[in-house]
Chains A and B, each alone.
Chain A
Amino acid sequence: MTVLVKPGMKVIIQGITGKQGRFHTKLMQEYGMDVVAGVTPGKGGEIISKVPVFNTVKEALSHTDIDASLVLVPPAFVKDSATEAIKNSIPLVVITTEFVPVHDSLKISELSKEYGVRVVGPNTIGVISPGIGKVGIMPGYIYSKGNVGVVSRSGTLTHEVSSNLTYSGIGQSTCIGIGGDPIKGMDFVDVLEMFREDPDTDVIVLIGEIGGSGEESAADYIRRSGYPKPVVAFIAGQTAPEGKKMGHAGAIVSGNSGTAQSKIFELTEAGVIIAESLAKITELVSNFIKPSAASEKECSATAGKGVGC
């Protein structure tokens, strides 16, 4: 069993005719994904990387089953595209787009509940189950198959942590970027629930950052549910100055709310193991990986690691 990504799943790309759409269709195919259709209003009938393009999701559905949609459209069109996918009951909708108006995300999140659709993002790299498949824009080869579940608000920190694990011979079951925006689809708790039920996930790495209260909610869930699997957490922005927006809309510390200290405190209270640096994550995770299991993992990285200090 895997989380969200299934073997042989059929994926569509909304916004397939754009620059990102074309590029990532190719990369999805290279990773072995079955891209069954693309959707761009007004471009129906075109073919991109051997994939037929339709004007609407409904039209695509009349030709094929669809398990997931990867949304790669500009911010102003996200609400329309995501709504279309949700109202056509595509089970998984991954929105990669950054700078989506927050009221649109609010609407998308409400709709997804109504239709029972899983939405990941916006502002995310998506989801990958290494060796099985991905619905996202991550470079597949820095991820490797194994038993660590990774969940993060930050896309590039997901790359960083997962690739560090990969180069140390530790693979991942599923890695999910939930997105850097304050209002989003799946949050930490939703993903933790999935990892809990997933027999392929033995350890979870939770990567948070300053701002918002998602990490605190995760801590609360872990404590209340008596979470059965070890969780290692890292919080980015521990040295960020107060009142300065650090790139992400959500990443700002104001007063006592959203500080790294509050998140680390709550997580520690819930029994989560805190990694004080990125490199420490790998070390802490390796304590929970059976040596036999670790050596079985395929690891493509053969080159040496960076230099010591």
Chain B
Amino acid sequence: MNCFEYEGKSIFNECGIPVPRGKNIKECNDAGNVLNEMGLPLVIKAQVLSGKRGKAGGIKVVTSKTDFDREFSRISSMSIYGEPVKSILVEEALDIKKEMYLGVTLDPATKSAVLLFSPEGGMDIEEISRLYPEKLLKHRVDREMELFRFLELFSPFSMDNSVLIQTGKIAAKLVNLFFEIDATTIEINPLVIQDNGKLIAADSKIVIDDNALFRQDRFEIQEEKEETDHLVMRAKRSDLAFVPLNENGIIGSIAGGAGLGMATVDAIRLYNASPANFLDVGGGVSEEKMCEAVKIVTSISSVRGFLINVFGGINNCEVMANGIARALKEQPTNKKIVVKMRGHSQEEGWAILKTLSIPVVKYGTTEEAVCKLLTLIREE
């Protein structure tokens, strides 16, 4: 789950990482009060989860009341990369001497948390590592690392003493926070050195592990983006991983497992047919869940036929076949269906599908199942 900038900054503030004075505004009527309270100049920052909002015009420094009013209403009504602006963070404008980068993330290759630091900040980390590879520090970090270890890491960057100590302290706090809130990424970009020599977090990016939200109750689970696609919404409610791929796609697919789901889509493309969607039912599939998955794919109007490609491993073929049967009873369809199914309770599953006259690929490959489906569609 991604946090908005204002949420991240409030977390930073709680753990002692300096952030600019500011206020997040959800109602336009409150804007005037904030202007009076805080005085000019101010920064108006659209609160969206998409990156590169500055480039899209979502961040503006204003120096007069007229500018403030104009920019505030302009940014409030913006939609940035398809994401409507729901709130605006108004902050004191900073006197920026230098922008640095500081972050903590997970590194699967070394199976550890790593600290990332660059004295050059303000651009994204990919750009930093491309433009200044020699200035990018990447170092393994653990829980409860002492301050001196951070100072050792930063001292080769020849900062003045005050900046070195401040950077070390902020990094130590950031690493603790990373473990404490089950983050997968935390970034301060830029970490600003102000004209007065004080460091301050001018932006925040925090990503929390979705799988750990059950024990991180401070975070409200929010929709990443307003879902306009009602089938995506529907799938989400049933805990199905559904990704529409092609508006005019004629071949739908339902798979058990993400890897198999992707390989199924790849196989459809291999035969020059256009896949309409990716759908992974996941593990522990109930009859209801499979039923809903089938209903979702039959609801895609461009789909002429679909492949159900599943295994009885953590799932059970009989349960899944019952789900398919129920969906076709409750929401009959004339789209072609091919099922490739094997594994636990396969005989029972196959028997159910036979009564529905659905062709079953028992021993063939995914490609063979795709072929069979395409043949059925062509025969129509």
Q: In whole angstroms, how far apart are the Cα atoms of A156 and B266 in the complex?
A: 15
* CB proximity of A29 to chain B, nearest CB, Å: 14
Is residue B72 contacting chain A, with contact meaning CB distance below 8 A? no
Partner of B263, one of A98, A167, A236, A303: A236
**Does A306 belong to the interface (CB within 8 Å)?**
yes
Does B221 sit within 8 A of A, measured CB to CB?
A: no
The reply to whether B262 and A240 form a contact with Cβ atoms under 8 Å apart is yes
Report whether B368 and A152 are in contact in the complex, using a CB–CB cutoff of 8 Å. no
Bound CA–CA A240/B367 (angstroms): 17
B contact residues around A106 at 8 Å (CB): 106, 111-113
Interface residues of A in 237-270 (CB under 8 A from B): 237-241, 244-251, 255
Q: Is B295's beta carbon under 8 Å from chain A? A: no
Interface size class of A (residues with CB under 8 A): 35 or more
Render A144-185 as a binary contact track against B, CB cut-off 8 A, 1 for contact: 000000001111110110011001000000000000101110
* Least Cβ–Cβ distance between A134 and chain B, in angstroms: 11
Partner of A246, one of B109, B262, B310: B262
User: In the complex, are the beta carbons of A277 and B261 less than 8 A apart?
Assistant: no
**Closest chain B CB from A195 CB (angstroms):** 20
Closest to A19 in B: B284
Nearest residue, chain B, Cβ from A240: B262
Check if A236 sits within 8 Å of B266, measured CB to CB. Answer: yes
Cβ contact within 8 Å between B262 and A237: yes
Whether the pair B108, A250 counts as a contact (CB closer than 8 A) is yes
Please indicate which of the listed interface residues B267, B310, B369 has the most CB atoms of chain A within 10 Å of its own CB: B267
Of chain A, the residue at the smallest CB distance from B126 is A255
Prevailing SS type, chain B contact patch: mixed
Give the shortest distance, in Å, between A79 (CB) and chain B (any CB). Answer: 11
Q: Determine whether B161 belongs to the interface, using a CB cutoff of 8 Å to chain A.
A: no
Q: Which of A125, A183, A255 has the most C-beta atoms of chain B within 10 angstroms of its own C-beta?
A: A183
List B contacts of A273 (CB < 8 A). Answer: none
Inter-chain contacts of A159 with B (CB < 8 A): 260, 311, 313, 342-343
Which stretch, A7-15, A43-51, A208-216, touches the partner chain B? A208-216
* Contact (Cβ within 8 A) B111 A248: no
Interface residues of A in 95-140 (CB under 8 A from B): 96, 98-104, 106, 109-110, 125, 137-139
Complex: A308 Cα to B372 Cα, angstroms: 8
A92 contacts partner chain B, Cβ-Cβ < 8 Å: no
Question: Is there an interface contact between A167 and B363, defined as CB atoms closer than 8 Å?
Answer: yes
> Which residues on B sit within 8 Å (CB–CB) of A109?
111
Q: Which A residues, 202 to 245, have Cβ-Cβ distances below 8 Å to chain B?
A: 207, 209-210, 212-214, 217, 234, 236-241, 244-245
Is there an interface contact between A101 and B342, defined as CB atoms closer than 8 Å? no
Q: With a CB–CB cut-off of 8 A, which chain B residues contact A276?
A: 270
In the complex, which residue of chain B has the Cβ closest to the Cβ of A276? B270
CB distance from A101 to the nearest CB of B (A): 4
The answer for the CA separation of A14 and B314 in the assembled complex, in Å, is: 16
Task: Give chain A's interface secondary structure class.
Answer: loop
User: Cβ of B269 < 8 Å from any Cβ of A?
Assistant: yes
Are A303 and B211 in touch, CB under 8 angstroms? Answer: no
List chain A residues, Cβ under 8 A from B343. 138-139, 142, 159
Given contacts A277-B270, A279-B368, A303-B363, whether A156 and B260 have CB atoms under 8 Å apart is yes
**Set of chain B residues within 8 Å of A271, measured between Cβ atoms:** none
Q: How far apart sit A255 and B52, CA to CA, in the bound complex (Å)?
A: 14
Q: Is A1 an interface residue (CB 8 A)?
A: no
Closest to B372 in A: A307
Q: Which residues of B contact A236 (CB under 8 A)?
A: 259-260, 262-263, 266
CB distance from A227 to the nearest CB of B (A): 19
A164 to B214 Cα, complex, angstroms: 39
- Closest A residue, CB atoms, query B315: A156
With A98-B283, A106-B111 given, name 9 new contacts (CB 8 A). Answer: A142-B342, A154-B259, A159-B313, A183-B106, A217-B109, A251-B259, A251-B262, A306-B361, A306-B362
A-B contact pairs, 22 of them (CB 8 A): A102-B106, A102-B209, A103-B179, A137-B314, A156-B259, A184-B111, A209-B258, A214-B108, A217-B109, A239-B266, A240-B278, A246-B258, A255-B126, A277-B266, A278-B263, A282-B365, A305-B363, A305-B368, A307-B368, A308-B371, A309-B368, A309-B374
Interface pairs A-B: 3 shortest CB-CB: A306-B364, A154-B259, A247-B258
